[in-house]
Amino acid sequence: MLKTLNKTLFLIFALLSLTGCSTIAYIGHTTERHYSEAQNLPADYPTKYLPDGNIWDEIGRNLKFADNIDLPYVRDQIRWFQKHQDFLNRTIERGAPFIYYIYQETKRRHLPAELVLVPIFESGYSACSRSYASAVGFWQFMPKTAKGFHLKINRWYDGRCDPVASTNIALTYFTQLHAFFDNDWFSAIAAYNAGPGRIQKAILKNQRLGKSTNFWDLDVKDQTLVYVPKLLALAAIIRTPERYGVKLLSVNDGPYFEQVEITSQIDLRRAAKLAEVDLDTIKRLNPAFKRGVTDPDGPHVLLIPKSKVAIFKANAEGTPRPITKEITPAAKTVSTESTATDETIIDKSTSVAKSRKTGVTTKPTINVQKPIAAVNTIPYKTANGDSIFRIAQRFHTTPGKIKAVNNLKGNSIKIGQVLQIPTTTKTTTSTIKKNGTRSVKKAKVTATPKTKVTAHRTVRPKTTVKKPAKQNTRRVKKN
């Protein structure tokens, strides 16, 4: 009964958020206008610099579905890829900086390595590609789907274009679909395209008719019917490219970027100068920032080429106002090798963890540091769905502070783990429930309007002036 209820709630959520991700209808009709050749690639770009070997070798050894190549639909898709070697090369070149990260995430979550290949036919590994149905990013999230997963979208930032945030959400969603369809990966992958409601409806129809509920026997649209074969065809080619006469572009089997926490809003041009790289490199790694500057309200994280992180930090420390955060050894900047649990991933991609503003300007040229209140802590027992970022938002603190107080090296937390939560509010009352968790009532704090400080200019919040209410000007007839 509980399992049926959970499935019903999941379907309701999926329908409300239009969960089916929009993809290229047929791989033969690829929207090439979204794709452009990478130019002026740096010397350490993953397709040029291979000190750790070729990642396709390892991925090929860990594929789970590569034996399903005798089906007609799969053979058709293999033939298409054989005829479009240039498409594969362009796509792999664009995705090269992120393929290692995505593969490591699938390994950490014990997911099929085949999921690394999904962005190849979803978006051509184009971080901000937009489909005819307005799906965006590597993983082609619809706006309402992104909103359903609390993926931040505003005029500064589109989380669907964030390679790390969108990947974490997509893999979490695949995990949920796999559980929803009783560990049937083909149905789960098809549901990523069509939405779980449509696949579940097809399964129930076959059950009523006494037919097999195997994915290949379901009555689904052509777009969904070829979706799984695309993935199987790619898996077969990745596993033994020489068998199909395909030469894959080599990709370095090592991290290309690291995530670096910064203190506040920064122009991407300045970030490029601090890292001593060209602007295109920074934009390629941080495509979610739509206006050439980071979101003033966060996420305060930049992806920087790993070989340039030390240079970026050194140059940032030499500026009049620090750019990067001072982080204790227990809470170092998260790299591509330091990852989080499934519960953490959803909120990491929402980017709702807001860093404390470190300065207020009374004049454009003077920065005055805010006094930091004494830090008190309260215990909190983590529950299902919690993450460092969600907890930080709930208690009006930052993930860095929580990790520092609890000596956490990464973002991983376990259900039932007791964390000490730093709080600087004047009063915080809590009631301990029977299950050991805390229900926290946040103190009311009266705040003066804040001034947001960028790396090169001051951005002041807009002031909304409330119009006076209309007076009653109706004339009254005298007696």
- What is the reported pLDDT for 310? 95
Give the mean pLDDT of 325-348: 34
**46 closest CA partner among 95, 109, 116:** 95
Question: CB within 8 A of 175, min separation 6: which ones?
Answer: 109, 111, 342
Element (H, E) at 103: helix 85-108
Decide if pLDDT at 342 tops 50: no
- What is the reported pLDDT for 344? 28
- What is the reported pLDDT for 370? 35
CATH class of the region 362-442+451-457:
alpha beta
CB 212 within 8 Å of CB 59 = no
CB 391 within 8 Å of CB 380 = yes
7: its two tokens: 């499935």
Helices (H) and strands (E) in the chain, counts: 17, 10
pLDDT in tens, 194-220: 999 999 999 999 999 999 999 999 999
Q: Considering the entire predicted model, what is its pTM?
A: 0.64
Could you confirm whether 122 is annotated as catalytic?
yes
Residue 431 φ then ψ, to 5°: -120, 125
**412 closest CA partner among 404, 403, 421:** 403
pLDDT in tens, 218-270: 999 999 999 999 999 999 999 999 999 999 999 999 999 999 999 889 999 99
- What is the reported pLDDT for 4? 54
- What is the reported pLDDT for 333? 33
pLDDT greater at residue 382 or residue 59:
59
The tokens 């601090």 sit on which residue?
274
CB 149 within 8 Å of CB 130 = no
> Using the 8-state DSSP alphabet, how is residue 423 labeled?
E
pLDDT in tens, 406-442: 888 777 888 888 888 886 543 343 333 433 444 444 4
- What is the reported pLDDT for 350? 32
CB 351 within 8 Å of CB 149 = no
Give the mean pLDDT of 137-147: 90
Amino acid sitting at position 174:
F
Query: How would residue 51 be classed by pLDDT, with cut points 50, 70 and 90?
Result: confident
- What is the reported pLDDT for 188? 96
Selecting among 122, 258, 261, 343, the annotated active-site residue is 122
- What is the reported pLDDT for 407? 83
CATH of 2-149+160-244, one of 2.10.25, 1.10.530, 1.10.490, 1.10.287: 1.10.530
Other Cβ atoms less than 10 A from the Cβ of 341: the count is 18
Residue 388 φ then ψ, to 5°: -55, -40
> Using the 8-state DSSP alphabet, how is residue 215 labeled?
G
Where exactly are the structural domains of the chain?
2-149+160-244, 257-335, 362-442+451-457
- What is the reported pLDDT for 321? 56
- Give Rg (Cα) of the chain: 25
465: its two tokens: 């002036």
Question: CB within 8 A of 349, min separation 6: which ones?
Answer: 149, 150, 151, 159, 162, 164, 165, 166, 168, 169
Q: What share of the chain is helix, strand, coil (3-state, %, to 5)?
A: 40, 15, 45
Give the mean pLDDT of 276-303: 94
Q: Positive or negative CA dihedral for 76, 78, 81, 85? A: negative
Give the mean pLDDT of 146-168: 93
Other Cβ atoms less than 10 A from the Cβ of 184: the count is 18
- What is the reported pLDDT for 319? 67
Share of the chain above pLDDT 70, in %: 67
